[in-house]
Amino acid sequence: MAFCSKCGATTVNEGDAFCSKCGTRVSPVKVSDLATNTERIRQQLADTRVNILITVIIGLYGLVFIVGGVVIKFTTAERYMNGSSGWDIYTYHPYQNWAAAFLVPGILCGLTAMVMLSYYNSKKRKLLKELEKQKE
């Protein structure tokens, strides 16, 4: 089925050279063109699925860093020091600076993964809708 660019009619049959409503010359759509377009859409869907998998891996990488940063942040050590009232116990966080070094990249990876995942999911939805239109 062809499409008339002048009047917008979609009732032009595949073999017709002119629009039945306005008489404008139309170029018929070939079945082979539809098959090529369908294959292009399927290839883009496959690429999008791979990109979604890579995005999930980036998100898991960020999650590992966040968990590592939280564990490091709450790691404490005790030191016994001779104070004015005798031996006192001081609790401190020996790896506090390392916690930020783990948390910041983890949060950045997580946020990046969320943005990328929403983009690729919307792209996948659009491609699936386009593929459904091709089947009709």
The reply to whether the predicted model has a pTM over 0.85 is no
CA dist list (Å): 110 to 10, 50, 79, 87, 116: 46, 18, 36, 45, 10
Range of the domain at 123: 31-135
Residue 66 placed within a domain? yes
DSSP character at residue 2:
B
- Chain-centroid distance, C-alpha 16: 43
For residue 86, pLDDT over 80 is answered with no
CA 60, 61, 64, 66 dihedral sign is negative
Residue 96, pLDDT score: 84
Q: Which of 116, 93, 103 is nearest to 64 (CA)?
A: 103
CB count within 10 Å of CB 2 equals 19
Structural domains counted in the chain = 1
Residue 27, pLDDT score: 65
CATH number, domain at 97? 1.10.287
Residue 9 placed within a domain? no
In this predicted model, what pLDDT tens digit does every residue of 37-71 receive, in sequence order?
788 888 999 999 999 999 999 999 999 999 999 99
Residue 78, pLDDT score: 84
For residue 1, pLDDT over 60 is answered with no
Residue 12 placed within a domain? no
